[in-house]
Structure 1
């Protein structure tokens, strides 16, 4: 439920990528609950007290990296990516990556994100000052005085290795950031969240129904147990 509600909460977050839960079916879990003894026989594996496996279990999370719809804003500092790349920003002494291109300039003229982290180019933080600038599809920023910056836009061989760190940022995790071949930058636009609200609402209803069914099953089991104790086990 936490994953679905988080997706719904971020339906209006620029560049947000929705998550989904991957589960393991009961037969697979049953096999995992058995081990092989010294004679090569499959035997039950005892679980510690308090640990049960009576249904499906979460095996991991999947982040949908599909690009969201682009929305025009007309602001020169708003940038959107149509490819599979990520903007690189300077944070915590290193780099973090984001699809949220809602940038602005700080008091020193640096291009920064909503958290104040400086947007990076191949040569370091981008300082555009107060003058107008343009950005082409390849991520080249051209200043009014003719100076240029090449935005650091990166891609990952396996985006599923990226780790969400909060605030719409990704950490490289075990992956290595490589230069994006086709950044597809569009100035004056923002990428919207790729959350499918209708699908998420349907999933939320299904989750509530599953909780209700589970609750009723527990109540029925409790009633049967009470009857066994109070009636069947009574001495007459």
Structure 2
């Protein structure tokens, strides 16, 4: 394949990946605690003889947008939202994960859980609520009280600015970087945080990427057709 073909193929692959990312954002516009993603591209310069160099655009990963979503009041005692740069910690079968999806319940053992994951306290242990508690109140700093008796405090943390967040589904994220206590985070009981996706913006982006992908396909088809005609002429003249 010649240079034009490589350039078209590289652009097409990048746009296909971008299409998947944007489509995922659109699909999760109503998902509690979801964080939109952006595709990250890097420019790869290659020597192309005279007159100089040619640049390939190569995607090498996604970045999670950490902007907050809007809060929605539910009135449920175990529905929790965060204001500020903080995350809940949960324990999964694969290890500790971060989430902003605060739709919590209790399991048969009285543990506070997010689906199948235990919500952790500020010491890294699962939070257990008394099964006979008549009222559960959660203060802005994450202190949990059952019938006005303090039983635990939520472990609110945040990853470093340079730490990557890797989405794993169910509103959970993994980070391999350091995490620190989220001192400025505030808990809002009886509310949930929505997705930070802006549907109109993402739909516009989806249309743009789709059109760019179709344009690249037409470019490759035209290029291949010209190459085929050139070969046909060379064979006919030989």
The corresponding residue for 1:169 is: 172
Could you tell me the TM-score, scaled by structure 2's length?
Answer: 0.82
Deviation at 1:233, TM superposition (A): 4.5
The corresponding residue for 2:158 is: 155
Question: Is the CA contact 1:105–1:129 (under 8 Å) kept in the aligned structure 2?
Answer: no
Question: Is the CA contact 2:81–2:189 (under 8 Å) kept in the aligned structure 1?
Answer: yes
Please give the alpha-carbon distance, in whole angstroms, between the structure 2 residues aligned to 1:7 and 1:161: 18
Aligned residue for 1:234, secondary structure, equals helix
Deviation at 1:83, TM superposition (A): 1.1
Gaps of 5+ in 2: 1-18
Greater Cα offset, 214-223 or 133-142 = 214-223
Give the number of the structure whose residues are more often helix, by fraction.
2
Is 1:10 matched up with 2:28?
A: yes
Given the alignment, which residue of 202, 205, 214 partners 2:204?
A: 202
The corresponding residue for 1:20 is: 38
RMSD, matched Cα: 2.2
Is 1:104 matched up with 2:112?
A: no
> Cα deviation per residue 1:16-62 (whole Å; 9 max; x = unaligned)?
1000012234xxx22xx35xxxxxxxxx9xxxxxxxx8742114322
Deviation at 1:160, TM superposition (A): 4.2
| Within-5 A mapping of 1:45-194 | 55-92=56-93, 94-114=95-115, 116-123=116-123, 124-130=125-131, 131=133, 132-144=135-147, 146-158=149-161, 160-173=163-176, 175-194=177-196
Deviation at 1:213, TM superposition (A): 0.9
Could you tell me the TM-score, scaled by structure 1's length?
Answer: 0.82
Please give the alpha-carbon distance, in whole angstroms, between the structure 1 residues aligned to 2:188 and 2:31: 18
Structure 1 stretches of at least 4 aligned residues deviating more than 3 Å after TM superposition = none
Question: Is the CA contact 2:163–2:175 (under 8 Å) kept in the aligned structure 1?
Answer: no
Question: Is the CA contact 2:29–2:197 (under 8 Å) kept in the aligned structure 1?
Answer: yes
Question: Is the CA contact 2:159–2:179 (under 8 Å) kept in the aligned structure 1?
Answer: yes
The corresponding residue for 1:217 is: 219
Distance 1:159 1:146, change over 3 A: farther
Distance 1:159 1:12, change over 3 A: farther
Deviation at 1:85, TM superposition (A): 0.7
Deviation at 1:103, TM superposition (A): 0.3
